[in-house]
Chain A
Amino acid sequence: MSEGGVSETQPMDAAAPIIRVRGLTKTYHVGDVEVHALRGVDLDIARGEFVAIVGSSGSGKSTLFHILGGLTPPTSGTVTIDGKDLGDMGNQQRTDLRKSTVGFVFQKYNLLPTLSAEDNIKIVEYIGGRSTVFTPEFEEVLRLLGIQDRMKHKPRALSGGQQQRVAIARGIVNKPAILLADEPTGNLDSQNSAAVLGLIKDLNQRTGQTILMITHDPEAAAYASRTVHIRDGKIV
């Protein structure tokens, strides 16, 4: 992967959207009941953009997040991530997508409780088949995130804000083309929320990292360069 996240094996047109969604639907079956979480979503996100998907609870934004991250397959429609069609992918290809193209930041941090902050980041490098020695550039990112001196601590010894910063570091350590953040400030107080959102924005501006943030909070969405609203499974 080169700078900016363009695949080396499949060079992309820099102007082409890094995420392209057309007619995306997702239907869940809860017992005999069909739940239409997404009802024909169309969305383009340009390389290097910081986009906030805003919607209330049950609007389908988390389902969209899961599909874009290759965590769950769509029911119909096409999703192209960095030139690769998700519809053509099996489990292994989706695993590879998560390994190399997409990074995640979750609302509940989702750090491995048995590992130190450092090892939580390094295990992603290990899984991605990369060296687990931090580069000077990444050390700089850790300083930017303000967690360089918290690396030996386990998650339970970190505050919520620190855990989320570790999660951000984990999400970008493999230089994925896209960083997906699902309610990254949902569990943080206002001060930590502002700090984390500022860091995400700074990251986007410094590195040109494409960031897609799911949120229900208009204040959080204001940090993004573009806001997309979703309601009842459709972009509005």
Chain B
Amino acid sequence: MLNKLIFANLTHRPVRTLLSVLAIAVEVTMILTLVGVSHGTLDSTKERARGIGADIVVRPPNSQVIGTLSSSPFSEKYIPLLMQQPHVELATGTVILGIGGFDSMTGLDFPAFNKMSGGFAYATGGDPVSDDDMIVDEYYARQKHLQIGSKRTLQNHTWNISGIFTGGKLTRIGVKLSTLQALTGTPGHLTQIYLKLNDPKYADQVADGLKVTLHDDQIYTMDALMSQFSISNVAMLKDFIWVVIAVAVIVGFIVVFMAMYTAVLERTREIGIIKAVGGSSGLVLSILLRETLLLAVLGTGVGIVLTYGAQALMKYYPGNLVQETVYIWWLYAGLIAVVGAMLGAIVPGYKAVQQDVTEALSYE
């Protein structure tokens, strides 16, 4: 019976209910999209790193684990030096150039890289042949509407698309190492170096040895590097997520506060009626809180649906963002929406509870 009353109250003012639900939905979508993009970006980065086939990576000093590297401090002379280390079977270096946003392009020594990784799996085309050739993954090609033979201008250089590969390997955009070195004014230098061992079981031992030899540089086994790909290791991201959650809670609070405050004012007489026929203050409060809970649950549901919409939109929106569905965050976002909504219902609820029956019954 009470649920019937709550449902009837919400459907009695459909526009207000719809707006409240939508506002909570936007709050939920905001959280789920941010978390989804964060996880998507990190996981795709992790997947690409795993696809390299290396066992150890040597990175510049003071570089962040997650984030685009931009300097090229290593001389190519490191390569033969590293090849002499015990158990090292293969070494190859890359140059990375950030091209804005989350995007970067990578210069590769294709023969060496192919030997290490097994080569790119091309949907069409193949490795760069000329210095102006560029390969991109299918995701990037779809976003930028690129085909074999398409021209793309990056860093004041016009590139010819020579291959579109299936992704999941090192980078989204690859060019010849020497070309990018020339373009960045760092001929003979590398951003990072990958090592493949004759047996991966020696990875920790070799990495420890290298840390002694190259004490200024960052040496990671690939397993250690993978473990670093988490939101908590991205300096600003975790804080940013908390800020978004706080904003979401405030939005939920304000929306529900306004909706419920108006509802309590509008339903003054009805609250009086319920109290007059024996309804306790607790019952009145329970009705309001259940209405609020229903709004929050509906808003969460709609928010999840909208998140899928954002995800679909992001596949075609030119921003090179990958959004994952992080199911556990449905629960977290729902709880955040409920907390914000319940906070918003406190003052209206108190007002309803405090209403004098006789005054409420005479309310026009």
What is A's interface to B at a CB cutoff of 8 Å? 66, 69, 71-72, 91-92, 95-96, 98-100, 104, 106, 110-115, 119, 122-124, 126-128, 132, 170
**Bound CA span A95–B274, Å:** 10
- B266 nearest CB across to chain A (Å): 11
In the bound assembly, the distance between CA atoms of A122 and B5 in angstroms comes to 11
A63 to chain B, nearest CB (A): 9
Would you mind naming 26 contact pairs between A and B with Cβ atoms under 8 Å apart? Answer: A69-B276, A71-B358, A72-B356, A91-B281, A95-B275, A95-B278, A98-B275, A98-B278, A106-B276, A110-B269, A110-B276, A110-B361, A111-B273, A112-B270, A113-B12, A114-B8, A114-B270, A115-B4, A115-B5, A119-B1, A123-B1, A123-B274, A126-B1, A126-B2, A127-B278, A132-B1
- Check B278 against A123 for contact (C-beta < 8 Å): no
Residues on the B chain within 8 Å of A126, using CB: 1-2
- Mark interface residues in B1-21 (1 if CB within 8 Å of A CB, else 0): 110110011011000000000
Q: Give the distance in Å from the alpha carbon of A160 to the alpha carbon of B89 in the complex.
A: 94
* Contact status B5-A114, CB under 8 Å: yes
Q: Is the CB of B361 within 8 A of A95?
A: no
> Which applies to chain B's interface (DSSP): helix, strand, loop or mixed?
helix
B residues apposed to A, CB below 8 Å: 1-2, 4-5, 8-9, 11-12, 269-270, 272-281, 283, 356-358, 361
A69 to chain B, nearest CB (A): 7
A124, B5: Cβ atoms under 8 Å?
Answer: no
Instruction: Determine whether the beta carbon of A71 is less than 8 Å from that of B283.
Output: no
Of all chain B residues, the one with the shortest Cβ separation from A170 is B277
Q: Are A72 and B357 in contact (CB under 8 A)?
A: yes
Which residues of chain A are near B275, meaning CB under 8 Å?
95, 98
Contact indicator A114/B12 (Cβ below 8 Å):
yes
Residue from the list B8, B270, B279, B357 in contact with A71, Cβ < 8 A: B357
- Cross-chain contact B280 with A112 (CB below 8 angstroms): no
Max chain B C-beta neighbours (<10 A), residue from A91, A96, A100, A127? A127
CB distance from B9 to the nearest CB of A (A): 5
State A127–B357 Cα separation when bound (angstroms). 16
Which chain A residues lie closer than 8 Å to B11 at the CB level?
114
For A110, the closest partner residue in chain B by CB is B273
Contact residue among A72, A100, A119, A170 (Cβ-Cβ distance under 8 Å from B358)? A72
Structural contact, A122 and B1, CB atoms closer than 8 A: yes
- Closest B residue to A66 by beta carbon equals B358
Residue from B8, B269, B270, B278 with most neighbouring chain A CB atoms (10 Å)? B278
Partner of A98, one of B1, B276, B283: B276
